[in-house]
Amino acid sequence: MKNRLLLSGLGVLLALSGCSEPATEVACDAPATIKLVKESVNSALLMQTGADDSVEFTYELTGIDTQETNSETGALVCSADLAVTIKDENLNDTLNTAINYSVELNEADKKLYVKVFENTP
């Protein structure tokens, strides 16, 4: 049941966004970018699954690749494989999905902005 709940949460990873502390680097695999992607996914899964404090989610991004670069804004569109591990008293399982995300540095406030999208075939 929780597996199904988690999968439905992963299926709704559309237009999640977050912003960082001031940054200087824009890269799909930069630590600040990865941190924002994980935070965005975590927020969405907690909200969408209604998980309580007894459930622990961990995230790993692999196969990170830059798909597009906007030459005017410097924004990047990235792809990655997201592994989500869910642990509680009854379950210890890892689920995988492909995601896309964009990352952009706002010149005015020097913050990174990330939007996460599920990679649909």
Q: What is the pLDDT of residue 43?
A: 84
The answer to whether residue 12 scores a pLDDT higher than 60 is no
What is the Cα–Cα distance from 120 to 107, expressed in whole angstroms? 31
Grade residue 121 by pLDDT with cuts at 50, 70 and 90.
low
Q: Which residue has the higher pLDDT, 120 or 98?
A: 98
User: Which of 18-22, 95-99, 113-117 has the lowest average pLDDT?
Assistant: 18-22
What is the Cα–Cα distance from 42 to 48, expressed in whole angstroms? 10
Q: Which residue has the higher pLDDT, 71 or 107?
A: 71
Q: What is the mean pLDDT of residues 99-109?
A: 89
The answer to whether residue 53 scores a pLDDT higher than 80 is no
pLDDT per residue as tens digits for the range 23-36 = 778 999 999 999 99
3-state secondary structure of 7: helix
3-state secondary structure of 61: strand
Q: What is the mean pLDDT of residues 25-49?
A: 88
Which residues pair with residue 66 across a beta bridge?
78
Both tokens of 79, joined, read 């792809």
Which residues pair with residue 77 across a beta bridge?
68, 102
